Amino acid sequence: MNELEKFSPGLDGVVATETSISYLDTIQEEIVIRGYDLIELSKSVSYVDIIHLLLEGRLPDQSEKNSLETSMLERYELPSAVFEVLKLLPEQTHAMDGLRTGISVLGGYDHAIDDRSMLVNKERAYRLLGQVPSIVANSYRILTKTEMIHPDKNLPYSANFFFMVTGRKPSPIEEKIFDLSLLLYSEHEMPNSTFTARVIASTQSDLYGALTGAVASLKGNLHGGANEAVMHLLLEAGTISKFEELLRTKLSNKEKIMGFGHRVYMKKMDPRATMMKGALQQLCHIKGNDLLYHMCEAGERIMEREKGLYPNLDYYAAPVYWMLEIPIPLYTPIFFAARTAGICAHVLEQHAQNRLFRPRVKYVGERHVL
């Protein structure tokens, strides 16, 4: 067979690059991050630990972790012009489009933007990790004409992010669960948004451009936007029985149901979803309202029985964010903010060992002879 006749729709199963960052091990059923099982890590470390692991290649000791958290706290502030640009956007602008615009504007303030060295790229990544939560929270606040909330440098990283998003400081359990969600969203091998960022970076484009493209990719409801769709579906139903009925109706109409199925996890539940399911149960118990938990379980049973599909991370992350009182339009931007650590690691790796992505096509059009 001619090499150009080999075709895998959606590049399914095609190995696009070598990486030492992460790997979905379908045999051991593990999400491997720099050699560690992400699920096992989630039981003992925080999101800041994962940032260090992704960008430095190893877990930090306590001193390094404290230093990293402090350095990101010092990078929270954004140029005022970023907010001025966001104020010019139409009210109907999606929160992800506000985030995309904000990151793009930041690139103009990087006086070393043409420097692709590992040292400068890492500094750039840490600065963006400090600034992206502020763009997420305040681009939405500007679009909804609510008061902006500036970072509280007295709060740990995840608690500060939660504070800017909700307008209140989290309880210890809320902070822990929100941090867990960031950790679980942090990195997942080569999904569409990460691949998009690496393709852009392979042209020797800068980190801001790669992240801007990744935001556009993650906005789609077949990728990051699924968590918002899940929550709207749960709210539309309102009760267990109506949710079951709604799912059956959609199945009979052959409609796609968000929050189920995954290109990698086809015969089991996404292990990250299992962790978020436990977090949802814990939150529901604390708040004295377990309706969403039982609704989700009912939907899980129907989809497994009728379609052989299992929940992915978005299915249980959505009601967790709802119970944390996070506005629905911010679910996907928060996903991106968490994934910024992983995407930055991939861009740094691409710049360090680059080869331009330039695939070919299988032509199925006509040929004309003049």
Residues 341, 193: Cα–Cα separation, whole Å? 13
Residue 232 among the catalytic residues: no
Q: Catalytic residue, from 152, 223, 290, 294: name it.
A: 223
Asked whether 51 and 34 are in contact (CB, 8 A), the reply is: no
Q: Catalytic residue, from 97, 206, 270, 314: name it.
A: 314
Give the DSSP H/E element, type plus range, for residue 318: helix 313-323
Neighbours of 185 (CB within 10 A): 25
Rounded to 5°, the CA angle 173-299-246 comes to 125
Residues 38, 45: Cα–Cα separation, whole Å? 10
φ/ψ of 25, rounded to 5, equals -85, 100
247: helix, strand or coil: helix
Give the DSSP per-residue string, 321-360.
Answer: HHHTT--GGGHHHHHHHHHHHHHHHHHHHHHHT-------
What contacts 55, CB < 8 A, 6 or more positions away? 122, 125, 126, 341, 344, 345, 348
H helix runs in 147-203, sequence order: 157-166, 172-185, 192-201
Residues 49, 128: Cα–Cα separation, whole Å? 17
- Pairing status of strand 30-33 against strand 36-37: antiparallel
Give the DSSP H/E element, type plus range, for residue 313: helix 313-323
Residue 52 among the catalytic residues: no
DSSP state of 260: B
Residues 255, 257: Cα–Cα separation, whole Å? 6
Dihedral sign computed on CA atoms, order 123, 129, 130, 135: positive
Residue (of 339, 289, 292, 285) closest to 320 by Cα position = 292
Residue 223 among the catalytic residues: yes
Q: Catalytic residue, from 97, 179, 206, 262: name it.
A: 262
Q: Which residues are catalytic?
A: 223, 262, 314
